[in-house]
Structure 1
């Protein structure tokens, strides 16, 4: 854990059930990055852990958000409208510190952040492993969610992500960073030129640089 942060956890009641926020607070925060997990995992994801470790040292408090279904111990994520309801319900706790809040998430969590950014007044959106389409089904594009955020948006995508490789993304008002050889969880093969450590560095360095550019 970074020496530039302190960690606390709080439970927040929402319409969809109790959510949980694990705060990694910067000592001199100027921004909050709130990120949620995907439909198949939790806040232990390697990219979320890396961001929580690194960003507080750069003035960004990180709030790792566990959606109500995950807190309740369920194995399957609910419908998108329920995920959105949970995110809306915990948003007041995220803006409580009075700092601009970047809404983010990985996979399904990235979709939630994109869908709700405008109505919640998010300062920006961070989409990690945005699931552009189901694997093997490029015709079922979710690009409209990404293109409709209305705020500065950064996509960080694995070069081998079956849910959408970087070259598949449409042109739009968002920035995109590729993690070479990374899959949907940003894991890279041992034979790849990019090491796992370097893959995580690409993620954190890109987010640090992008966050610094936000007004």
Structure 2
């Protein structure tokens, strides 16, 4: 019989407005994985939901964090400084269970985790679909943001992500590749890898990496 995952929702005040934490609780948690969403979507993203469904059974509580702009129903994300400020303000809620916290997120959320993880005392950083550069503009690289995180870091990237394909990343930050995946880890229907298989690549890679914490 499959154990049902308990889910709770917590609103957390920040200078930018209330953030919202969706807690997917592990029965015997040893670690918290806190994940922010991207600039074009929320915590319903397929990769975030896949991790929230899988990891609590591996003794990892998953906290999916909605930034205040998303909670308020706005369509456009604010400047990175505002995202970082809100993340810093909600961090005490993430550490409240008294467990080590791995910070992470997808796309813009990954950038926030990279920029703030070390100062906040995160145990590591998980970068999903890290936007290495704007599409078609590899000269505008954000590699320094990723390599400068100063913490153990796992990058998981779609094989055809226009924001940075796996082979474009610097040697010290080479990602786990999700075959045929785009920036949202969607795979074409005719691809050799199915959507479920693509998501399994993500969950297996993260599960294995988190065993080291």
Band the TM-score falls in, shorter-chain normalisation: over 0.9
Residue equivalent to 1:122: 122
- Tell me the CA shift for residue 176 of structure 1: 1.9
Tell me, in whole angstroms, the C-alpha distance in 2 between the residues paired with 1:3 and 1:63.
18
Q: Which residue of 2 aligns with 1:209?
A: 208
Q: How many residues are aligned here?
A: 212
8 Å CA contact retained: 1:4, 1:26: no
Partner of 1:82: 82
| Residue-by-residue CA offset, 1:145-180 (whole Å, 9 max, x unaligned) | 1001111000000000000000000122x4620000
SS in 1 for 2:6: strand
Alpha-carbon distance in structure 1 between the residues aligned to 2:11 and 2:196: 32
3-state DSSP of counterpart to 1:150: coil
Q: Distance in 2 between matches of 1:43 and 1:3?
A: 22
* 1:213 Cα deviation after fit: 1.7
Give, in whole Å, the separation in 2 of the partners of 1:10 and 1:193.
40
Cross-structure match for 1:168: 168
Question: Structure 1 201/67 Cα, relative in aligned 2: closer, same or farther at 3 Å?
Answer: same
Structure 1 runs (4+) greater than 3 angstroms displaced: none
Structure 2 match to 1:43: 43
| Cα-Cα RMSD | 0.9
Structure 2: 5+ residue stretches without partners: none
TM-score, normalisation: structure 2: 0.98
TM-score, with structure 1 as normaliser: 0.97
Kept in 2: contact 1:4–1:56 (CA 8 A): no
Using the alignment, how far apart are the partners of 1:16 and 1:175 within structure 2?
Answer: 34
Contact 2:37 2:108 in 1 (8 A): yes
Q: 1:4 touches 1:57 (CA, 8 Å); kept in 2?
A: no
Q: Return the alpha-carbon distance in structure 2 between the equivalents of residues 83 and 182 of structure 1.
A: 26
What is the SS of the residue equivalent to 2:175?
A: strand
Partner Cα distance (1:145, 1:171) in 2: 15
Per-residue deviation, residues 57-95 of structure 1 (Å, max 9, x unmatched)? 000000000000000110000000000001001000000
Distance 2:99 2:209 in 1: 17
- 1:191: which partner in 2? 190
* Other structure's SS at 1:164 match: coil
Alignment of 1:1-215 (within 5 A): 3=3, 5-172=5-172, 174=173, 176-214=175-213
- Output one character per residue of 1:1-46: Cα deviation in whole Å (capped at 9) or x when no partner: x725311000000111100000001000000000010000000000
SS of alignment partner, residue 87 of structure 1: helix
